[in-house]
């Protein structure tokens, strides 16, 4: 298969299996990675092509002279925990996260859980493309099989001792994804009353999209209300994001969860550094500064969040899409931590989650997605940035282009993982939101067509 350079994204490697990626491509990726480091842990999620691609990756690694641990079929958290405990140079997780079943890919993190940078992905891409036509005699996959599931669960139990004090009721929606392998067992170990929804692993994702959107979580929202649960959680395909549903059946955004977690963590910490992305709500700054937060803004993407959390020694990292990093637990964004932390807050505060949600400020927010070819999307955003700098007083180009008004803001940025341009809008009133959405949607559509 001819290697498509577009599979190398800003944060990871992704493509449609059999069309963009296959075993041959992964052998070469493994070979390049194996030349750079010598000790790896490899795992894969529940997708059909997962094990085949993992084995191909290992063939490349061992041919380059690397030592490999293999944790097999795994959730995101269990895989990266395993790499962390085994002190590997890099952990490699074969997954396409929240993308449809036809897709697969590769997440590459350092042993401590920090993802590799986009510059590192670019270097890997260039070296893989350089050896594309070369004949390499690959060795058979050789690895040490490991299973750290028990140690992973025991570590979580140690980190959340308060959860034993009260039996909460939770609805778990694993979406037939990788968290099905661990989440029900973890929450029962803590003593939760667990109601399972789509908790049987199935690579076809038959019940809902692996992306836990508002629409995809409708069954979860209904179940939380019907069973009078304290809250619910919907995980994405691999388990690096978890969407919380409160006891009134409301879908909570990454901004809301970031504020709830941030308030709790800031109350108990002398360190006040909080990292958030440029697409996060202005409510995060307003609410968390009441507790002394020092806000650090980074581009959109969990890679940037985790890197800044590590570099700046922050106590929390928040991405609007619900990637949350709490480094006092792990440096990687294991979504299992989010419902555990929410449960801990409910026990501490002795309040319903809906009450806590109603105590925090939130502004009308919307995200609109526009289709735009990969080869064109960055150019469109660059041209709009130049245009807006001439027209508006406050323009931020940290990531894409953000125009800031007294009553709200808009952010236009090219997606790093798909052929799309995203328009984010937040305003202090619904009327102002509608005004900004209509105005900037019209501009963006015009520039995409040009």
Residues 424 and 342 in one domain: no
Residues 39 and 124 in one domain: yes
Pairing state between β 365-371 and 324-325: unpaired
DSSP 89-121: SEEEEE--TTS-TTEEEEEEEETTSPBPPHHHH
User: Which of these three, 103, 118, 147, is where a domain ends?
Assistant: 147
Structure-token pair, residue 255 = 């901004």
Quote the pTM value.
Answer: 0.94
* The pLDDT of residue 416: 74
Residues 72 and 112 in one domain: yes
Q: Output the tens digit of pLDDT for each of the chain's 450 residues.
A: 899 999 999 889 999 999 999 999 999 999 999 999 999 999 999 999 999 999 999 999 999 999 999 999 999 999 999 999 999 999 999 999 999 999 999 999 999 999 999 999 999 999 999 999 899 999 999 999 999 999 999 999 999 999 999 999 999 999 999 999 999 999 999 999 999 999 999 999 999 999 999 999 999 999 999 999 999 999 999 999 999 999 999 999 999 999 999 999 999 999 999 999 999 999 999 999 999 999 999 998 899 999 999 999 999 999 999 999 999 999 999 999 999 999 999 999 999 999 999 999 999 999 999 999 989 999 999 999 999 999 999 999 999 999 999 999 999 999 876 899 999 999 999 999 999 999 999 999 999 998
Contact between 357 and 245 (Cβ < 8 Å): no
* The pLDDT of residue 135: 92
Residues 87 and 98 in one domain: yes
* Rg, the chain, Cα only: 22
DSSP 127-153: HHHHTTT----PPPP--EE---HHHHH
Q: How many domains does the chain have?
A: 4
Structure-token pair, residue 9 = 């994204």
Could you tell me the residue range of the domain that residue 270 belongs to?
A: 254-358
Helix orientation angle between 118-130 and 23-36, rounded to the nearest 10 degrees: 110
Residues 44 and 142 in one domain: yes
* The pLDDT of residue 190: 97
In CATH, what number is assigned to the domain containing residue 184? 3.40.120.10
Residues 24 and 72 in one domain: yes
User: Which of these three, 125, 147, 169, is where a domain ends?
Assistant: 147
d(CA 80, CA 386): 41
Residues 275 and 182 in one domain: no
- Per DSSP, what are the bridge partners of residue 107? 93
d(CA 24, CA 78): 27
Residues 130 and 155 in one domain: no
Q: HSE-up of 325 (CA within 13 Å, CB side)? A: 29
242-245, strands of its sheet edge to edge = 193-197, 169-173, 231-235, 242-245
Residues 235 and 259 in one domain: no
Structure-token pair, residue 252 = 């909570």
Contact between 240 and 212 (Cβ < 8 Å): no
d(CA 338, CA 3): 37
* The pLDDT of residue 11: 87
In CATH, what number is assigned to the domain containing residue 391? 3.30.310.50
Residues 9 and 134 in one domain: yes
* The pLDDT of residue 196: 99
- Per DSSP, what are the bridge partners of residue 104? 15
d(CA 125, CA 278): 27
Phi first, then psi, for residue 195 (nearest 5°) are -110, 120
Nearest to 116 by CA among 7, 12, 29: 12
CB count within 10 Å of CB 397 equals 14
* The pLDDT of residue 1: 86
User: Which of these three, 331, 358, 385, is where a domain ends?
Assistant: 358
Residues 13 and 94 in one domain: yes
- Per DSSP, what are the bridge partners of residue 105? 14
Burial of 446 (0-12, 13-18, 19+ CB in 10 A): exposed
Q: Length of the chain, please?
A: 450
Residues 116 and 165 in one domain: no
Nearest to 37 by CA among 107, 84, 90: 90
């Amino acid at each position: 298969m001819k290697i498509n350079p577009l599979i190398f994204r800003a944060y990871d490697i992704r493509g449609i299996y059999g069309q963009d990626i296959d075993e041959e491509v992964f052998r070469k990726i493994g070979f390049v990675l194996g030349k750079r480091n010598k000790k790896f842990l490899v795992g894969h999620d529940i997708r059909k092509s997962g094990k085949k691609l993992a084995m191909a990756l290992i063939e490349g690694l061992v041919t380059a002279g690397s030592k490999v641990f293999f944790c097999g079929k795994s959730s995101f958290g269990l895989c990266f925990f395993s790499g962390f405990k085994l002190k590997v140079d890099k952990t490699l997780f074969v997954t396409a996260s929240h993308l449809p079943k036809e897709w697969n890919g590769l997440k590459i993190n350092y042993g401590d859980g920090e993802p590799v940078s986009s510059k590192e992905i670019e270097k890997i891409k260039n070296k893989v493309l350089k050896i594309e036509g070369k004949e390499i005699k690959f060795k058979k996959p050789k690895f040490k099989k490991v299973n750290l599931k028990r140690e992973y669960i025991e570590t979580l139990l140690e980190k959340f001792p308060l959860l034993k004090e009260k039996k909460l009721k939770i609805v778990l929606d694993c979406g037939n994804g990788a968290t099905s392998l661990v989440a029900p067992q973890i929450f029962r170990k803590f003593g939760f009353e667990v109601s399972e929804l789509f908790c049987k692993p199935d690579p076809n994702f038959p019940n809902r999209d692996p992306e836990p959107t508002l629409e995809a979580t409708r069954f979860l929202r209904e179940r939380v209300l019907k069973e009078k649960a304290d809250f619910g959680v919907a995980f994405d395909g691999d388990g690096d994001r978890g969407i919380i549903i409160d006891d009134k059946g409301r879908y909570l955004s990454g901004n809301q969860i970031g504020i709830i977690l941030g308030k709790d963590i800031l109350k108990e910490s002398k360190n006040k550094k909080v990292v958030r992305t440029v697409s996060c709500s202005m409510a995060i700054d307003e609410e968390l500064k009441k507790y002394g937060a020092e806000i650090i803004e980074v581009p959109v993407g969990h890679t940037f969040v985790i890197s800044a959390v590590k570099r700046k020694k922050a106590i929390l990292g928040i991405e609007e899409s619900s990637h949350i990093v709490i480094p006092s637990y792990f440096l990687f964004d294991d979504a299992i931590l989010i419902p555990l932390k929410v449960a801990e807050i409910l026990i501490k505060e002795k309040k319903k989650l809906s009450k806590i949600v109603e105590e925090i400020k939130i502004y009308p927010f919307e995200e609109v997605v526009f289709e735009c070819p990969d080869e064109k999307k960055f150019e469109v955003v660059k041209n709009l940035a130049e245009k807006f700098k001439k027209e508006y007083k406050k323009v931020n180009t940290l990531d894409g282009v953000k125009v800031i008004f007294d009553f709200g803001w808009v952010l236009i940025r090219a997606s790093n993982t798909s052929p799309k341009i995203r328009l984010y809008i937040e305003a202090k009133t619904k009327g102002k939101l509608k005004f900004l959405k209509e105005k900037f949607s019209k501009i963006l559509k015009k520039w995409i067509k040009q």
